[in-house]
Chains A and B, each alone.
Chain A
Amino acid sequence: MILTDVLGSDVVDNSGQRLGEVSDVRFAVDASPGQLLSKARMVGIVVSPRTASSFLGYERRGITQPWPVAQLLRWRHRGSFLVLWEDIAVIGPREVVLRPGFTAYESTLAF
């Protein structure tokens, strides 16, 4: 699977109701760092209800400067959430279908 095929896909729940678009895919490198990085497993997808484009991740990080830009981008991505891999039923270039009773998590990164 190629990542950019998934970015921008519509995200729907199991009843077909549209929830937004895939704005990013989150990975975690769990094992302790060595000379080379260990496997990066997919944690989940970041869903944005309005736009798939993300500019510098203002909405996911604690960046507040320049203030008007930070406010605008945070407002544009309001309602973004993270869906874990376990809650994804189908993933494809046209749409991503979530499992019934999926859980929405905050999409912010630790900062």
Chain B
Amino acid sequence: MSKAKRIHPLKIRPAPRPAGLVLDAQLHLLDRQMLDVDGVPVSTVDDVELSGPEPDERIPEGAEAPVISALLTGPVLGTRIFGGRPPSSRLIRIPWSVVAGVDTVVKLGVRSDSLDASWVERWLRHHVIPRIPGGRHDPH
């Protein structure tokens, strides 16, 4: 890896400040806990899906900036340790359109039961928990 060319500090200008909420993906989104509308934990943000452009394709001047289309969650532990990332088909999408707020947690505006991300929990609730004695009713 070659040494990076240094940009002279005097050439670095003050950045324009967007009027709304500013989010740095690593700082504010990745690895954050997602809570549903009732405050129930859903999953964590493992990756972010953007609309266009195609990787390594030349971007025409004046092209519209990409937007976040979905937050992704999935089995990333192995790839975090050994490198790479799981194939897109293994990642579960949570559309950005259901995100209600970004704070110390990412708040969703829907119930977790309506999301694919909570299928493991639903499957365990329906197939494993009822077989445990006392698992079919509320605790006394």
Contact = CB atoms under 8 A, between A and B. Distances in A.
Q: Report if A and B associate in a common complex.
A: yes
Interface of A: 1-5, 7, 10, 13, 17-20, 23-33, 35-37, 39-43, 46, 49-50, 54, 56-57, 60, 79, 81-82, 84-86, 88-94, 99, 103-110
A80 B21 CA distance: 21
Contacts, number: 167
Contacts of A54: 26-27
Contact of A24 (B13, B17, B24, B102): B24
A17 B6 CA distance: 10
Contacts of B96: 37, 39-40
A27 B15 contact: no
A76 B14 CA distance: 20
B105 interface: no
A1 B55 contact: yes
Contacts of B58: 89-90
5 contacts: A3-B25, A4-B30, A39-B68, A79-B6, A85-B66
